[in-house]
Amino acid sequence: MPLVACPHCEEDENLQGDNVDGTITITCGECGAVWERDFTPRCPTCGRTDVRDALQAILDKSRGTQLSIQSMRVVWLCPGCDAEKLRSYLDSNVPLPPDEMPVDPR
């Protein structure tokens, strides 16, 4: 999923961004649409903005078949759509597992 895409034609590469007084204005090179970039995190399923941040582990093989946390990334969990995952994260305070485990390139 691209980080930014045109809301009109869904173009995600031919975009030009300009920072004016702390607001990023994006212009689509394909259809000419202009919009302000909104940094408010939203649930991709229901659109709620009261999402909570959580850390998700990024794993890689460090030796043989041993998996190690290489870094973390922030993911946003919706209290409605991700209620069980959010409750588990808040109760354990342990990073979420990755969506996909590293695979052996063989």
Q: Tens digits of per-residue pLDDT, 16-25?
A: 999 877 788 9
Task: Calculate ∠ Cα 59-12-42, nearest 5°.
Answer: 65
Residues 6+ apart with CB under 8 A from 80: 43, 46, 48
Q: Tens digits of per-residue pLDDT, 31-88?
A: 999 998 877 888 989 989 999 999 999 888 777 777 888 899 999 999 999 999 999 9
Show the DSSP H helices in the chain as ranges.
83-92
Question: Pick from 72, 64, 66: which is nearest to 95 by CA?
Answer: 72
Query: How far from each other are the two terminal CA atoms of the chain, in whole angstroms?
Result: 27
